[in-house]
Amino acid sequence: MAHDLENMPEIALDWHRAGKGAVLATVVETWGSAPRPVGSQLVISGAGEMEGSVSGGCVEGAVVVEAMDAVGSGAGQMLEFGVSDDQAFAVGLACGGRIRVWLEPVGGALPAELLEDLVAARAARRPVAYVLNTETGERRLDPADAWPDRFRMDRSGMEEDGRTFVHVHSPPLRIIVVGAVHIAQALLPMARIAGYDPILVDPRPAFGAEARFPGEPIVEDWPDEALDALGLDPRVAVVTLTHDPKLDDPAIMRALRSDVFYLGCLGSTRTHAKRVDRLSEAGFSEDEISRIHAPVGLDIGARGPAEIAVSILAEVTQRLRKG
């Protein structure tokens, strides 16, 4: 899944620094059949260039016109659009809806320093909330633990007071798959569709061949070194699929001592029992070992690599959303 629709703060900062002028437009509320979710962004330059999307085409033109007038302005501005049934049908929606879009001129209403702090947090994979009072124009960055429910559900939105907008900036989800096996061939494209950046780790050149995984990022280092280099954090899931303790165990040990949100390991109940013994001998506690999902995946009666991949992605999703 391309994250190109999600790097609008970075583009806005670049355009501002280049002297083009930049206005960030953010969907803050939707009703009915809105084409883009709350939090979607569009950035517009003083010359009317645009990147991103707030509606899928039906209101972009009007937003650009308003934004060009607002470049450098010291005040934010709320725009409201009704998408009529005719318009909605034309852009592939079943019925009309309404959206509210907040315009923020960079360097004016939105201080460049605050945007720089936001971009820096995103680059460091540090989750932050951009909190805006649409009545007073006050804005700040909050840590994720100030808005735990919103971060668990990745849900930006307006608070009940009708003026506080909370924009959730979570790092892109990653799924690191150890073992370039048949299940991985199915799991990587599925994970990308579900919004993850998948990364494959396998030091065996015959397995992690480009021909078997066209276009996928493949890391040929030993799994523990690969995980150290990639970095493990609460937006990462780790899945081990090699069946070979020499490859799986080093990855599992790294993941158990990190705050990844999911760790799943392929293998039968008997294979897992042996794995538990090895980990206990290596000094891991029962609590730590109990974090492992094994046998990997939800029990949906999966047969064959593709269905096993479905069961793994389902379990990863369940763990992400339900905790």
Answer whether 0.85 is exceeded by the pTM: no
Nearest Cα neighbor of 200 from 187, 190, 108 is 187
Q: What pLDDT, on a 0 to 100 scale, did the predictor assign at position 36?
A: 85
Per-residue pLDDT reduced to its tens digit, 189-227: 999 999 999 999 999 999 988 899 999 999 999 999 999
DSSP structure class, residue 5? G
Produce one character per residue of 79-90: b if its CB has 16 or more CB atoms within 10 Å, e if not.
bebebeeebbee
Phi, psi of 282 (to 5 degrees): -80, 0
- Which of the residue ranges 54-68, 79-93, 226-240, 279-293 would you say has the lowest mean pLDDT? 79-93
Residue type for position 237: A
> Mean pLDDT over residues 64-81, rounded?
92
Confidence check: pLDDT of 87 > 70: no
Q: What pLDDT, on a 0 to 100 scale, did the predictor assign at position 91?
A: 58
Confidence check: pLDDT of 58 > 60: yes
| Domain 173-322 in CATH 3.40.50.20 | no
**Token pair in block for residue 153:** 């559900």
Cα–Cα–Cα angle for 300, 305, 306, rounded to 5 degrees: 70
- Domain ranges, ordered by start, for the chain: 4-169, 173-322
- Which of the residue ranges 8-12, 17-21, 205-209, 233-237 would you say has the lowest mean pLDDT? 205-209
Per-residue pLDDT reduced to its tens digit, 89-113: 665 555 667 889 999 999 999 999 9
Phi, psi of 190 (to 5 degrees): -60, -45
Q: Are strands 164-169 and 128-133 parallel, antiparallel or unpaired?
A: antiparallel
Average pLDDT of every residue of the chain: 92
Question: Which are the contacts of 303, defined by CB distance < 8 A and separation ≥ 6?
Answer: none
